[in-house]
Amino acid sequence: MKVLNKYFLLERGPSRLSEWSLLWSGFSHQDFAHLLMNMLCLYSFGTTMLQVLGVVNFTSLYLISGVASSFASILFSAITRSYGMSLGASGAISAIFAAFATIFPKAGISLFFFPLPGGAQVALLGFTVYNILGCFYRWGGLDYAAHLGGTLLGFLYAKYLQQKRRYR
């Protein structure tokens, strides 16, 4: 159990950080429901993004955004002095969703089988606002800062791809 806590749990606080936990915490989950929700979201947006990006770029985006979302979590915790622990893939999955919504802004999105009006771009805006508010109001046990870090990285990566393809 000590090994799992050291490498697969991101502890946000002075002198608690294990460099490996920046990456590996994105592969651990609190319970089956947590894992199931993250994998459902990953499947929903990841299958399309895998086809668009290819295996190497998709994997790179996923891993880098997992680490970036851990950094965002640590930075927010240091600024607000609200230390604790974090785990889960939602930061990396937020990046995949943000990249999807940026590349396919009009794509239809459903939440629990109910279509959301406005497409992916409106869903991304709502997701971002929800996470910003979550940082301030601290609803539940979610790591809103990690979600925002992943979202920002995914958005910037998609904009980079769009710019790169535009000038070819």
Among the residue ranges 66-80, 95-109, 126-140, the one predicted with the least confidence is 66-80
| Token output for 83 | 């230390």
Q: How confident is the model at residue 71 (pLDDT cuts 50, 70, 90)?
A: confident
pLDDT at 17: 57
- Tens of pLDDT along 53-65? 999 999 999 999 9
Residue 104 located in a structural domain: yes
Of all residues in the chain, the percent with pLDDT exceeding 70 is 79
Computed over every residue of the chain, the mean pLDDT equals: 84
Residue 88 located in a structural domain: yes
Active site residues: 90, 147
pLDDT at 116: 87
**Which of the two residues, 125 and 114, has the higher pLDDT score?**
125
What domain range includes position 123? 2-12+47-166
Residue 80 located in a structural domain: yes
Residue 144 located in a structural domain: yes
Residue 113 located in a structural domain: yes
pLDDT at 28: 72
pLDDT at 165: 82
Among the residue ranges 67-71, 77-81, 122-126, the one predicted with the least confidence is 77-81
Q: DSSP of 93-156, one letter per residue?
A: HHHHHHHHHHHSTT--EEETTEEETTHHHHHHHHHHHHHHHHHHH--TT--HHHHHHHHHHHHH
Query: Does 105 score more than 90 pLDDT?
Result: yes
Residue 71 located in a structural domain: yes
- Tens of pLDDT along 21-43? 666 666 676 678 878 888 888 99
Residue 130 located in a structural domain: yes
50 dihedral zone (left: phi>0; alpha: psi -120 to 50; beta): alpha
Task: Report how many domains make up the chain.
Answer: 1
Residue 135 located in a structural domain: yes
Residue type for position 85: M
